[in-house]
Amino acid sequence: MTARLLIVGPQGSGKGTQGVRVGDALGIAVVSTGDVFRAHVKEGTELGLQVTSILDAGDLVPDELTSAVVRDRLGQADAADGFLLDGYPRNLAQVMHLDQFLGGRDEKLDAVIALIVPRNESVARLTARAAEQGRTDDTEEAIATRLGIYERETAPILDVYRTRGIVDEIDGVGTLDEVTARIFAALEARGIVAPSAV
């Protein structure tokens, strides 16, 4: 089934994990801007070199650069029949950019999954992840920067999508399976997944 989805949530909300689960189950391309940037950093590409210090500080990569990466990725064949975006759009300018891009293809987002996780829970999860995975942007300072940007710049994009009636707020506290089940129930209610797909 074709679906064009966006998953939004504060850092530590589990959006990356849930995004992959949902995308895989629906057979659609999962496009995580954070993953794309981290891959470039790892491979030492020109883009990687440009964004390394930005990522480490927890700041946003400039919109033009990010939007170009997303346009390029969504232009690939596997995203033609649906995709799940994780980490983009992250501010109002990016929402406008995505609207323009999708409008040009006669497409639009079908649903926005908003994972709701209280700040203290996010911080606890990120701190635990820092110990396990050693992501270079999981320092105390970068975490605070990222959560601040989320609250100031990313949370407001949900208001835009709410006026379109496409936001599903999902309680992100619980086991991974519980949260996945809540997401699928919401997508089912929208007719995006058939009950048998769950």
Q: What are the binding residues for AMP?
A: 33, 38, 59-61, 87-90, 94, 135, 146
The reply to whether 14 sits near ligand ADP by the rule CB under 6 A is no
Of 22 and 193, which has the nearer Cβ to ligand ADP? 22
First-last CA distance in the chain:
13
Q: Which of 4, 15, 73, 182 is catalytic?
A: 15
146 in active site = yes
Read out DSSP for 91-149?
SHHHHHHHHHHHHHTT----EEEEEE--HHHHHHHHHHHHHHH--TT-SHHHHHHHHHH
The reply to whether 112 sits near ligand ADP by the rule CB under 6 A is no
The reply to whether 146 sits near ligand ADP by the rule CB under 6 A is yes
Of 144 and 173, which has the nearer Cβ to ligand ADP? 144
Q: Nearest Cα to 109, choosing from 69, 40, 162, 33?
A: 162
- Distance of alpha carbon 181 from alpha carbon 119, whole angstroms: 22
Of 149 and 186, which has the nearer Cβ to ligand ADP? 149
108 in active site = no
Residues placed in the known binding site for ATP: 12-17, 129, 174
SS3 of residue 31 by DSSP? strand
73 in active site = no
Output the smallest distance, CB 173 to ligand ADP, in A.
17
Q: Nearest Cα to 59, choosing from 145, 151, 147?
A: 145
- Can you list the positions of beta strands (E) in 9-107? 29-32, 83-86
Q: Which of 5, 40, 88, 180 binds ligand ADP (CB under 6 A)?
A: 88
Residues that bind ligand ADP (CB under 6 A): 11, 33-34, 37, 54-55, 58-61, 66, 87-88, 90, 94, 137, 146
